[in-house]
Amino acid sequence: MKDRKEQILRKRKALENKLRSKMDELSSKDKESLQAIAIKYDKDSKKAPTIVASGRGKVAKKILELAEDNKIPMVEDPKLSKLLSSLRIRSEIPSNLFKVVAEILAFIFYLEKMASKRSKLRSKFKRIKE
């Protein structure tokens, strides 16, 4: 079990280093045009998703690093990012963008569900193997 955790930590560090090196490879023009938007959605509330962070350049890089560090799923969509960047922080997603954002959230929820099932199967298999 301890070896598995260490292996996961090594893989995570390697991915973090890869992300940082990719960011460092970007030209200064690319870094300035880098854009990131963070949205929050509470499944239990009946409210629309909300913009919680938005930025370009160094701020975008920090948003991406925080998302990576906290294992928050990321989706790359430059067109949607451009539209969402025109909104204020803490504002709800407008109704004309509901469908696009809902599709992205549904995809993320599906991936999380599959990851959870995979984890349960692995632990079940591990118990059987022992």
Distance CA 72, CA 111 (A): 12
pLDDT tens across the length of the chain (130 residues): 567 777 777 877 776 676 666 666 665 555 567 899 999 988 888 888 999 999 988 899 899 999 888 888 888 888 899 899 999 999 999 999 989 998 988 888 888 888 888 878 877 777 776 6
Q: Is residue 20 part of a domain?
A: no
**pLDDT, position 23:** 63
Q: Is residue 65 part of a domain?
A: yes
Question: Which residues constitute the domain of residue 97?
Answer: 32-129
Alpha helix ranges (H) inside 1-130: 2-25, 28-33, 58-69, 78-85, 98-129
* CATH number, residue 50: 3.40.1690.10
Q: Is residue 53 part of a domain?
A: yes
- Residues 54 and 66: beta-carbon distance below 8 Å: no
Q: Is residue 1 part of a domain?
A: no
Q: Is residue 11 part of a domain?
A: no
Q: Is residue 9 part of a domain?
A: no
Tokens of 3: 């070896």
**pLDDT, position 122:** 78
Q: Is residue 16 part of a domain?
A: no
Sign, CA dihedral 71-79-20-118, equals positive
Instruction: Name the one residue in this structure whose structure tokens are 């499944």.
Output: 43
91-129: string of b/e by CB count within 10 Å (b at 16+)?
eebeeebeeebeebbeeeeeeeeeeeeeeeeeeeeeeee
Q: Give the total number of structural domains in the chain.
A: 1
Q: Is residue 23 part of a domain?
A: no
**pLDDT, position 114:** 84
